[in-house]
Amino acid sequence: MRYGIIIAAIVLSWGGFAYKLRDLWHNPRNPALRALCALLLAFAIAVTIGLPPVYQSIPPLMWYPSGVRLVQHLLAVLAGLAMQVLGGHVAGATATVYRFWVPYTVVTLVAMVVLFVLAPVGTDADDFVNQYAAAPFVTEYLLVFLTFAVLSLGAVCLRSVRHARLTRRRCLPTGLRLLASAGLVGIVFALHKAGYALARRFGLEPPWSEGPVSTTLVCGAALLLAVGATVAGWAPKLVRLRLRLRRYHAYRRLDPLWRRCTR
C-alpha cells in the first residue's frame, strides 16, 4: 500500500511536469509557467529519488544513503521558493518574493547543509528521524527545514484560497483549492515530523512509526499538487469531451425518428 501511494505520486508528479512543460514550450517567456514547471520538477525528483532502488543506484548515495534525505529536503525548499515565485507573479507581488523569500531560502539551504554535515548521521535512510533525531544537530536541521516548509506552505494556502474566491475562470478555483489542500497536507506533514523529532530528542518513544505516516502525507500532498496545478488545463477538455459524448448518444437515440421523418 505504501509503495503504491509512492508510485502514484511519482507518476502524477512527472505527468503534471510533462503536461505543463508542453505549455512552457509554446510560451517560454511566461514567468509563472517557468516557476510552475520548476515546482513540479523539484517535487517529482524529490519523490522519485526517495525510492530505495533509485537512490541505491546513484554512486554518492550508494556510499552514503542518508544523504538522500538531505537531497530531498533541499529540493523541497527549492520547490517552496518556486511556489512563492509562482504566487508572486499571479498576485503581482514579485517584490515581496525577491525581498524576503529568496534571501530566506538561501539562508535555509546553507543552514541545512552545515547542520547535516555536522550531524553524526549513519547510513540508515529509511528510518532517518527515528534513528538520528536524538543525535546532535539532527533535530536542529529538521526544524530549520520544517519551519521553512510551514511558512511557505502557509503562504500558499492563504494565497490560493483568496484567489479562488476572486477568479471566475473555469476550473481555476478548483485547482487553487486543490493547491491549498496540498499545502495544508504539507503543513500537517511538517508538524508531525517536527513533533516526532522533538519527542525522540527528549527521549520519548512515540507509539507509531514516523516513516509510513510522513511518506503517506508527502505523497498525498504531491498528488494534490500535481492535479491542482494542471486541472485548469485538462478539466475543460474533459467537460467538452463529455458534452460531445452526450450529444452523440442523443443523436443515436434520435436516429430512428430522423429516418422515419426523412422517409
217: domain CATH number is 1.20.1070
- Residue 67, pLDDT > 70, answer yes
Phi and psi, residue 171, nearest 5°: 75, -15
Higher confidence at residue 11 or residue 123? 11
Q: Residues with Cβ < 8 Å from 221, sequence gap 6 or more?
A: 182, 183, 185, 186, 189
pLDDT at 146: 94
- Which of 45, 29, 56, 117 shows the shortest CA–CA distance to 78? 45
User: Which percentage of the chain shows pLDDT scores above 90?
Assistant: 23
Computed over every residue of the chain, the mean pLDDT equals: 85
Nearest 5°: the CA angle 125, 137, 81 is 75
Q: Predicted confidence band at 166 (pLDDT cuts at 50, 70, 90)?
A: low
Residue 212 CB: number of other CB atoms within 10 A? Answer: 12
pLDDT at 149: 93
- Residue 95, pLDDT > 80, answer no
User: For 120-154, how does the pLDDT look when each residue is reduced to its tens digit (9 = 90+)?
Assistant: 888 777 778 888 888 889 999 999 999 999 999 99
How confident is the model over 168-179, as a mean pLDDT? 76
Question: What does the alpha-carbon distance between residue 118 and residue 112 come to, in Å, rounded to a whole number?
Answer: 10
Question: What does the alpha-carbon distance between residue 233 and residue 216 come to, in Å, rounded to a whole number?
Answer: 27
Q: Predicted confidence band at 9 (pLDDT cuts at 50, 70, 90)?
A: confident
Cell numbers placing 201 = 530528542
Domain that holds residue 205: 2-262
pLDDT at 60: 80
Q: Predicted confidence band at 169 (pLDDT cuts at 50, 70, 90)?
A: low
User: How many Cα atoms within 13 Å fall on the side-chain side of residue 125?
Assistant: 21
- Residue 105, pLDDT > 70, answer yes
Question: What does the alpha-carbon distance between residue 80 and residue 105 come to, in Å, rounded to a whole number?
Answer: 9
- Residue 192, pLDDT > 60, answer yes
Higher confidence at residue 38 or residue 9? 38
- Residue 89, pLDDT > 90, answer no
pLDDT at 103: 93
DSSP assigned state of 123: S
Rounded to a whole number of angstroms, the CA Rg of the chain reads: 22
How confident is the model over 77-89, as a mean pLDDT? 88
- Residue 1, pLDDT > 60, answer no
pLDDT at 114: 95
Q: Predicted confidence band at 12 (pLDDT cuts at 50, 70, 90)?
A: confident
Question: What does the alpha-carbon distance between residue 263 and residue 241 come to, in Å, rounded to a whole number?
Answer: 32
Question: What does the alpha-carbon distance between residue 128 and residue 119 come to, in Å, rounded to a whole number?
Answer: 12
For the chain, give me the number of helices (H) and strands (E)? 11, 0
- The total of structural domains in the chain comes to 1
Higher confidence at residue 225 or residue 194? 194
- Residue 217, pLDDT > 80, answer yes
